[in-house]
Amino acid sequence: MVEEKMKQITLSVIMPVYNGEQYLNYSIQSVLNQTYKDYELILVDDGSTDHSLEICEKYQSKDKRIRVISQENKGISGARNAGIDIATGKYITFMDNDDVIQPKMYEIMLNHMVSDGLDLIMCGAVRTGNYNFQDAVDQYEICKLTKKDLYERIFANSNVDWEYMAVWNKIYKTEYVRKIKFAKRGTEDAVFNCQYFKYIQNAKLIDQKLYYWIQRKGSISHSEFSLRDYYVLEDYYWMNQYVEKHEREYIQYSIVKLYKLVFNSRYRARNTELKNKIEQIIKKNDKSIKNIFYENDKICSKIKILFTIFYYIPVTYNMFRWINEKRAR
């Protein structure tokens, strides 16, 4: 019965491409190697200056399931939106142009998506620096995800729950995706998911690493606060307002995360201009955020007291961070 249903559906795989000639073949080939065949692969070249577009067009000429869009550079959000606009699938998933996926990823995920009538399904992912991986096993755990699970995890510490923030290890319903689109933000994946969760009634997690997020040696994690970090802070203010308006019963998760970002931003910012921008956005939202924070009975008193001290006496948070970092060494 499941196989009959799957013959009637189409999956749109949207892959933004920007100067990815060195790794693009690996990514495209991993999609072509899927055991599930009823999909279209939409390659959106976002103004590449290398040979990426030529590589995309070469694959398009060999496989009718591949569609290529070429546009001026609009960033990853603009590229994903361009793919969404022409997608014909009942379901949509996303992939980066230097990552790879397990050969059975779409088969496993769509099998459950269809048979269980899900609005969202996600799988585990691996952060790695190479393309060597083991084949997926046939035995795996699958568990139900509630809205509480999703909102709690997306606003948790990203070092632990980054899989919940990402879009590339999930399959979505196209009808809901078209209501959202991607915004050009500091953390566009989290903002997108925060909005998508509003539509979810049934969601599940496959406890198996099917997506490989390739991280390059050249990429760095900077300790100093940057302009992009400021945009991330802006995003979390926006998400907090969104949750307050649409999913208020989960507001305790977004507001606690927001306050942690505020404290961390103050601690890490060294540039005077960025410090001023941080204080401006804090001041702009100060009254409404405080009201939500102190009136929420789901946030324990200990957190409220601690955060109040950190908020009004920033040096106490600096000392707190310094002590914890010293202990970790």
Residue 58 has pLDDT above 50, yes or no: yes
Which tens digit of pLDDT belongs to each residue from 73-104? 999 999 999 999 999 999 999 999 999 999 99
**pLDDT value at position 267?**
87
Distance, CA of 261 to CA of 250 (rounded, Å): 18
Are residues 17 and 45 in contact, defined by beta-carbon separation less than 8 angstroms?
yes
Torsion of CA 259, 262, 267, 273, to 10 degrees: -170
**pLDDT value at position 1?**
43
**pLDDT value at position 38?**
95
What are phi and psi for residue 214, nearest 5 degrees?
-85, 125
Pick the more confident residue, 178 or 320: 178
Residue 71 has pLDDT above 90, yes or no: yes
Which tens digit of pLDDT belongs to each residue from 262-305? 998 988 888 899 999 999 999 999 888 888 899 898 999 999 99
**pLDDT value at position 326?**
76
Mean pLDDT of 103-129: 94
The two three-digit tokens of residue 78, written as one number: 């603009």
Full DSSP string of 202-265: -EEEEEEEEEEEE--TT----SS--HHHHHHHHHHHHHHHHHHHH-GGGHHHHHHHHHHHHHHH
Residue 218 has pLDDT above 60, yes or no: no
Quick one: pLDDT band at residue 51, thresholds 50, 70, 90?
very high
Which tens digit of pLDDT belongs to each residue from 164-215? 999 999 999 999 999 998 988 789 999 999 999 999 999 999 999 999 998 8
Distance, CA of 250 to CA of 5 (rounded, Å): 35
Mean pLDDT of 224-250: 90
Quick one: pLDDT band at residue 217, thresholds 50, 70, 90?
low
List the domains of the chain with CATH numbers: 2-214 (3.90.550.10), 227-328 (no CATH)
Residue 137 has pLDDT above 70, yes or no: no
pLDDT over 90, % of the chain:
69
Q: What is the CA radius of gyration of the chain?
A: 21
Q: What letter does residue 20 receive in the DSSP assignment?
A: -
pTM of the shown model: 0.89
Quick one: pLDDT band at residue 227, thresholds 50, 70, 90?
confident
**pLDDT value at position 161?**
79
Q: What is the mean pLDDT of the chain?
A: 90
- List Cα–Cα distances, 287 to 251, 284, 290, 293, in angstroms: 16, 8, 5, 10
Among 62-66, 118-122, 230-234, where is mean pLDDT lowest? Answer: 230-234
Are residues 28 and 90 in contact, defined by beta-carbon separation less than 8 angstroms?
no
Distance, CA of 44 to CA of 101 (rounded, Å): 18
The two three-digit tokens of residue 118, written as one number: 């899900």
Which residues, 6+ apart, have CB-to-CB distance to 39 below 8 Å? 10, 11, 12, 13, 31, 65, 89, 106
Among 64-73, 83-92, 115-124, 254-263, where is mean pLDDT lowest? Answer: 254-263
